[in-house]
Structure 1
């Protein structure tokens, strides 16, 4: 029993010691957590004070920074001539393909290729011996028909007299009348045959139907040609005046009609200036004379025909040219320098405008076409708006700015201060 009591005492003493130990450890751990929390709270408080002081400093610095300066141009309405540049080709105002109207051997060619010919000039001479013989035969047939007509007419007249005396029967008189009428018809056929033979004989002389320049001959002396053959012998083209056929898309025509709905937009004088293939300007101006009434299904374009003087023969049929047409006139047009127009990610054009409070606004605009180094704008801005043309990259919508009025120098095209430009003038 005593040994058991000693064992229990030692166990209880050990248990008591372990409890004290863990209690001591808990007190120390709680103390450490408390100290850590105090340190963290102090650090956070110090950081907040530093952030507040930084914000106050930044605010003070922002108040001290000057407002960004931008160059603006005031929008003004002005008369604008709207031109369209279209591709085109020159075309003869008159063109005649020379083909024989009778067959035969070419005996002579009476022109120099490339020369200017007049209507009625003899170009080719065909062998006419057969046709002269046909004329003589037709003339003989006509003479025979006329002799028969004279005989039958006399018989008919005589029978009419005899019938009045009852010396011939009515049947004889009727037969004489029929013979006479047949002779009249035969005489008309003979006249027609003679005229046809003479026409064929005349066709052996092939003449120019129009004035113009004659091209290369596709037949030579000794060649056999046939009536109304498909291949022309040569071609004559009239080049003064000369036509220019310009191709305008149906979309462009619709845009023009939309603009014409505006009260201040009217049709231009329809004058046309040409730029040749080598980039030089044609010295004479033309004018639109005809517009095709249908759209070409293959190209989606409409043909506009302009007429030009060509006294020097500089324009040849088939040349490629570019025509600038003065097709519309806007009495209250708005032009914006291209350097002031930007595009967003959707591709829509916009400008930055300074409002009366000197704050930047973004405006979407509609650009109809480029005129020189400016955009012709039909919607989005109005007269009096101040569009930023310099310094737009350093401002954003809503920013407050200071402005400098600019003006385009008419001689150099550069933007200069409006006051400086006025002083210079």
Structure 2
């Protein structure tokens, strides 16, 4: 028979064996992690550079009243597309009609007076030739005629101004474009030369305003790429990721770097026949740079960032996860140029690396660009 003491020792031994088995299971090989990976690509790659830009109107014209008065008619709706010369407003014209009529009367009166004096000059000239009057009388008559002619010119200038003021009571658009919605309404009072009645922005073409850092500018310059070279076939990527179908060209480069930001301001022009581009929209300017010979490429999604450093997970010799620090080059679409840290023999984990630690065994499925749904992949 097994005594009580032996039963206790058997129980202790069973617990030790059980604990040992559990520890052995806990310290056994970790489970394989399923990942997708692809070979590092190497090929000659044209490099593009991207800059965040804002779409602005090429011309933005504030329409100001040229005469003073109340708005009597408004001939458009806010947001309309308007043409150069199209009437937009009418200002109360009654006092300007009266001013024209008054000036016309003054001109007519001055012309009548001039005609009468000119006839006197002719009569005095005949009498003077016959010795019938003193020469001084003739000279006085000629002076009066000159004064009357000057008076006619003065009244005619006044009439011209009155007619111009009357014409300016009809306010027209100076350019083709789109008018804003913050315009004045009927009944509003406008002051000549100061009241902004509306703003018209040109819509075709538009400009994209962007900035280039000093280092980016030096990179282009040291590669021998002047703005005339790289700024001719610019692409535009809209905020939803779609590419604008019309290429643009660099049109303006600022005279120097901005003191506060250390950037060089530029403007590129893009045709906008469908009026898809609206001032205030943000987009990315894409400029072509140099061609990298034998560049190493991986998908951007394979790059990991931590504390300002970049890493990728590669497949080690025993199909284990290995973390490698890398130095990034420019982005090429959804691909990333790798400057340092990888070779063409490396296999990079593209999906599933978040579940791995260094040394984790991997169950690998090899994929290509087509499997990543990267635009332009072949």
User: Which category of TM-score, normalised to the shorter sequence, fits these structures?
Assistant: 0.5 to 0.7
Residue 259 of structure 2 is aligned to residue 294 of structure 1 = no
Q: 1:215 aligns with which of 145, 162, 180?
A: 180
Taking structure 2 as the reference length, the TM-score comes to 0.67
The DSSP-based 3-state class of the residue aligned with 1:311 is coil
Task: Measure the CA separation in 1 of the matches of 2:41 and 2:189.
Answer: 78
Match of 2:278 in 1: 316
CA change 1:74–1:208 in 2 (3 A) is closer
Aligned partners of 2:123, 2:280: CA distance in 1, in Å?
73
- 1:369 counterpart residue number: 330
Higher relative contact order, structure no. (Cα contacts within 8 Å, ≥ 6 residues apart): 2
1:209 partner SS: coil
- Structure 2 CA distance, aligned partners of 1:106 and 1:170? 59
CA distance in structure 2 between the partners assigned to 1:124 and 1:337 by the alignment: 60
Structure 2, unaligned runs of 5 or more = 1-38, 304-308, 310-325, 349-366, 373-378
Which of 54, 57, 74 is 1:109 aligned to?
74
| 1: CA distance, partners of 2:338 / 2:140 | 92
Of structures 1 and 2, the larger Rg is shown by 1
- Aligned residue pairs total 300
**TM-score scaled to structure 1, two decimals?**
0.61
Distance in 2 separating the partners of 1:298 and 1:98: 33
The residue number in structure 2 matching 1:89 is 54
Deviations 1:257-295 (A, max 9, x none): 111189xxx934632222223333333332223322322
- Deviation (angstroms), 1:228: 1.4
Counterparts of 1:369 and 1:242, CA distance in 2: 28
Deviations 1:239-269 (A, max 9, x none): 122111121123211111111189xxx9346
Aligned-pair Cα RMSD in Å: 3.9
Alignment of 1:337-352 (within 5 A): 337=297
Q: Which runs of 5+ in 1 are unaligned?
A: 1-71, 342-346, 348-364, 381-385, 392-407, 414-425
Relative to its length, the structure with more helix (as a share) is: 1
| Contact 1:334–1:376 (Cα < 8 Å) also in 2 | no
Question: Does the 8 Å CA contact 1:105/1:223 hold for their aligned counterparts?
Answer: yes
1:368 positional shift: 6.1
Q: 1:277 aligns with which of 213, 229, 239?
A: 239
Q: Which secondary structure state, in structure 2, belongs to the residue aligned with residue 239 of structure 1?
A: coil
What is the CA distance between 1:173 and its match in structure 2?
2.2
Q: Using a 3 Å threshold, how does the CA distance of structure 1 residues 302 and 376 change in structure 2: closer, same or farther?
A: farther
